[in-house]
Chains A and B, each alone.
Chain A
Amino acid sequence: MTPSPEAHTHRPETEPALPDPRGPLSERVLAALAGRPGALPSEDETARADPYGDDLQLLLYVLYELHYRGFAEVDEALEWEPRLLAVRAAAEDVFLRALREGTTGGKDVEEAVGALLLEPVGDDGHSVSHHLQREGTLEQLREYAALRSLYHLKEADPHVWVVPRLRGRAKAAMVAVEYDEFGAGRAENIHARLYADLMADLGLDPAYGRYLETAPAEALATVNQMSLFGLHRRLRGALVGHFAAVEITSSPGSRRLAKALRRAGAGAAAQRFYDEHVEADAVHEQVVRRDVIGGLLEDEPQLAPDIVLGIETTGLLEDRLGEHLLASWRGGRTALRTPPSASS
């Protein structure tokens, strides 16, 4: 292996602390994770929750987190605790039903992909990256980087879960793209690591999970979506659709964000992250469309509606997050639940 230039700066990272509850359901789940006695939310209670509300989204987020890095002082065995899995399943039903109801559906993958390949001429007034490129302040860029850290510090992680569920061409291509996402054998080039560098560059704390508390439900939902699709084999088509949608839309969006960062005077690492994504995702898009989607449809043509679902729900949740961000900023407010503090 290549010796890592980072080796001397490495320090062990502690797992994040449990966040504060955001309602009665997340309160009881968080109590259980902290090891306190008490009843968990019933299936009926969970079924009545607002699918996009803070309470349900935080509940899902913390239960999913047990499969990633966990939380400090939370028993690792709770990852497979049947009663918590039952709560999670009830919450997933609510979330997935809302996602299905909020999208058109269908089985025309080519049409769904084609819609993503059309670039709007100019700003339609709904695009966060256009807004940031044109008039984003450094503070707005910092907010954006803080709430996106929930996603980017897990970048490509839940997508690995789909690998054993693919075959042949789709599997080889998926792994090739993931290899690139994970730095092609070099720790300092892992995309999540490039993002941590970007955060430090913007004066944010790059510790994993640091901004969970400040992230609004709209941001949690984008991460919960990929955990949901990644953890369930039956949703493998949706995971692939989601991945394709992200890779296809990332390149032009990254170009605008790189420009925004240059304009706002952000440092070199912040720009490097987005510059890398302009180039990398222009390649990933082609490989995902041609070989991951193409290969999966060859193997399992019945998954076409799920691929469309993943493409459409990604758009739905990104639009919801974008609306929240732009409404907050245009109203002169922070888009976070609490403003990000500088790194300590």
Chain B
Amino acid sequence: MPASAEPPRRVVVERDGPILVEGPVEMTTDEGESVVSDRFVVAICTCRRSRIHPWCDTSHRRRKPAEEGEDTSP
């Protein structure tokens, strides 16, 4: 491999989950806002439920009903 060749940026699409992109990433949201993340991998929300959009906060996870004894606190 020639030393100058940049390897292609790796992107992984998770089924029912975020899109993982090698960071750092500068992203323009659909509201025109520019946001930057310099993490080694950035998880981009695709479910639109994240409270820290455009980044994933695991809100895409499937829910299970609370078990017996729900809210037993006074």
A108 on the B face (CB < 8 A):
no
Asked if residues B73 and A184 are in contact (CB atoms below 8 Å), the reply is no
Asked if residues A121 and B63 are in contact (CB atoms below 8 Å), the reply is yes
Asked if residues A131 and B66 are in contact (CB atoms below 8 Å), the reply is no
A55 on the B face (CB < 8 A):
no
A158 on the B face (CB < 8 A):
no
Residues from chain A with Cβ under 8 Å of B74 in the complex: 330
Contact with A along B36-68 (1 / 0, CB 8 A): 011111110000000110011110011111110
Interface size class of A (residues with CB under 8 A): 20 to 34
A75 on the B face (CB < 8 A):
no
Asked if residues A125 and B64 are in contact (CB atoms below 8 Å), the reply is no
The size of the chain B interface, using a CB distance under 8 A, is 31
A227 on the B face (CB < 8 A):
no
Q: In the complex the two chains form, what is the Cα distance from A117 to B34 in whole Å? A: 30
Asked if residues A124 and B63 are in contact (CB atoms below 8 Å), the reply is no
Q: In the complex the two chains form, what is the Cα distance from A282 to B17 in whole Å? A: 10
Asked if residues A124 and B39 are in contact (CB atoms below 8 Å), the reply is no
Asked if residues A125 and B69 are in contact (CB atoms below 8 Å), the reply is yes
Asked if residues B69 and A124 are in contact (CB atoms below 8 Å), the reply is yes
Q: Which of A285-293, A304-312, A334-342 contacts B (4 or more CB under 8 A)?
A: A285-293
Asked if residues B41 and A251 are in contact (CB atoms below 8 Å), the reply is no
Picked from B12, B20, B40, B66, the residue with its CB within 8 Å of the CB of A123 is B66
A-B contacts counted at CB < 8 A amount to 92
B30 on the A face (CB < 8 A):
no
Picked from A118, A124, A184, A282, the residue with its CB within 8 Å of the CB of B55 is A282
Contact with A along B6-25 (1 / 0, CB 8 A): 00000010100110100000
Closest A residue to B69 using CB positions: A125
Known: A119-B62, A278-B57. A286 touches B40 (CB 8 A): no
Asked if residues B70 and A285 are in contact (CB atoms below 8 Å), the reply is no
Within 8 A of B (CB), among A270-292: 275, 278-283, 285-287, 290
Residues from chain A with Cβ under 8 Å of B55 in the complex: 279, 282
Within 8 A of B (CB), among A109-137: 117-126, 131, 134-135
Picked from B14, B38, B63, B71, the residue with its CB within 8 Å of the CB of A286 is B14
Asked if residues A120 and B73 are in contact (CB atoms below 8 Å), the reply is no
Within 8 A of B (CB), among A152-211: 176, 179-180, 184
Asked if residues A123 and B71 are in contact (CB atoms below 8 Å), the reply is yes
Residues from chain B with Cβ under 8 Å of A280 in the complex: 39
Q: Which of A117, A134, A135, A290 has the most CB of B within 10 A?
A: A117
Residues of A at under 8 Å CB distance from B?
117-126, 131, 134-135, 176, 179-180, 184, 251-252, 255, 275, 278-283, 285-287, 290, 326, 330
Known: A120-B64, A124-B67, A290-B12. 6 other contacts (CB 8 A): A117-B61, A119-B62, A122-B71, A125-B70, A180-B40, A281-B58
Q: Which 10 A-B pairs have the closest CB atoms?
A: A125-B72, A124-B66, A118-B64, A251-B58, A282-B56, A121-B63, A119-B61, A283-B43, A125-B69, A122-B66
30 of the cross-chain contacts (CB-CB < 8 Å) are: A117-B61, A118-B61, A118-B63, A119-B61, A119-B63, A119-B64, A120-B65, A121-B63, A122-B70, A123-B70, A124-B66, A125-B69, A125-B71, A125-B72, A125-B73, A176-B41, A180-B39, A184-B38, A275-B52, A279-B39, A279-B52, A282-B18, A282-B55, A282-B58, A283-B42, A283-B43, A285-B58, A286-B18, A286-B43, A290-B12
Residues of B at under 8 Å CB distance from A?
12, 14, 17-18, 20, 37-43, 51-52, 55-58, 61-67, 69-74
